[in-house]
Amino acid sequence: MAEITEDTVKHVAKIARLDLTESEIKKFTQQLKDILEAFKKLDEVDTTNVKPSFHPQEIKNVLRNDEPKKWKWDSLANTKQKEGKYFKGPRAV
């Protein structure tokens, strides 16, 4: 498995949209190495032909009828960043 470096952490942070300080990057790099080293234990388990469990028990998909419903709440009630009936967001491009 590829070694975790500060560049790995920076790359992941970018994907996760998380600004990290230099000292956080340093610290997390070491901690990630330690944690993933401990988690290597999983390689000892033979999981050939074992199905993954996405839930503790099998869950069936639930669908409701595709009918419009009136929304009970004011979606904008908790935001400071709005204009008229819309959220105001940062520049997208």
Residue 87 phi, psi (nearest 5): -70, 145
Stretch 25-64: interaction string toward another protein, x if CB under 8 A: ---x--xx-xx--xx-xxxxx-x--xxxxxxxx-x-xx-x
Binding another protein (rule: CB under 8 A), the pick from 78, 83, 84, 85 is 78
Give helix 22-39 / helix 6-15 axis angle, nearest 10°.
100
Radius of gyration of the chain (CA): 22
Interface with another protein includes 70 (CB under 8 A)? no
Do 9 and 32 form a contact (C-beta atoms < 8 A)? yes
Using CB under 8 A, list all residues that contact another protein.
1-2, 8-9, 12-13, 15-20, 24, 28, 31-32, 34-35, 38-39, 41-45, 47, 50-57, 59, 61-62, 64, 72-75, 77-81, 87-93
